[in-house]
Amino acid sequence: MTNLNIRPAVSPDIERLAKLNHQTLTPRVWQMSQSMDTNGIHTSFIEVNLPREMKLAYTRSPDMLEGIWKDFSLILVGCVDEVPVGYITLNAFFSPEIIWVKDLVVDDLWRRKGIATALYLSAYEWGKKRNYSRTNLEMSSKNYPGIKLAGKLGFEYCGFNDSYFKNNDIAIFFSRLIG
């Protein structure tokens, strides 16, 4: 892996982080189907191959980072040669035992080099030292690279919310125990 330094974000980082490429390309998506019968509501997600790669816009505007970065419990920045190449935002305000990973972004030139994994593992250790019991991830059902990363990191699917994001994408949630 690249010589990566992970540290808490400082104010001058935020503008640079907002400028990272937040889009991703995906050859697949999770397609939701739902039906209702006398036994209840049945929801399933099926992995679907797309006819061509789709450019997936980020679910939140990167510009919002500058306005709300102080509202997160922690932002960790991954730097190569002191230049930020990725970040993870954590929110531990929803529950006293759960850390929510709100963003996990690596600039496109640095993807598939272990940086997202290293950022998450640093967040995991941060939570472990503070006695959190679980980490949760949220992402668009279209974010197949993120879904694959969640599986690689030991997360399990734990639910969804239709039209969760401002762009009306379905949010899917994954969870992993700490400890």
Q: What is the CATH number of domain 5-177?
A: 3.40.630.30
Question: How many alpha carbons lie under 13 Å from residue 5 in its C-beta half-sphere?
Answer: 9
Q: What is the pLDDT of residues 11-45, one digit of tens each?
A: 999 999 999 999 999 999 999 999 999 999 999 99
Q: Determine the pLDDT at residue 32.
A: 94
Q: Do residues 120 and 153 make contact, with C-beta atoms less than 8 angstroms apart?
A: yes
Q: Domain segments of the chain: what residues?
A: 5-177
Q: What is the pLDDT of residues 146-175, one digit of tens each?
A: 999 999 999 999 999 998 988 889 999 999
CA-to-CA dists, residue 93 to 13, 96, 98, angstroms = 23, 7, 8
- pTM over cut 0.85: yes
- Look at residue 122 and tell me whether its pLDDT is greater than 90: yes
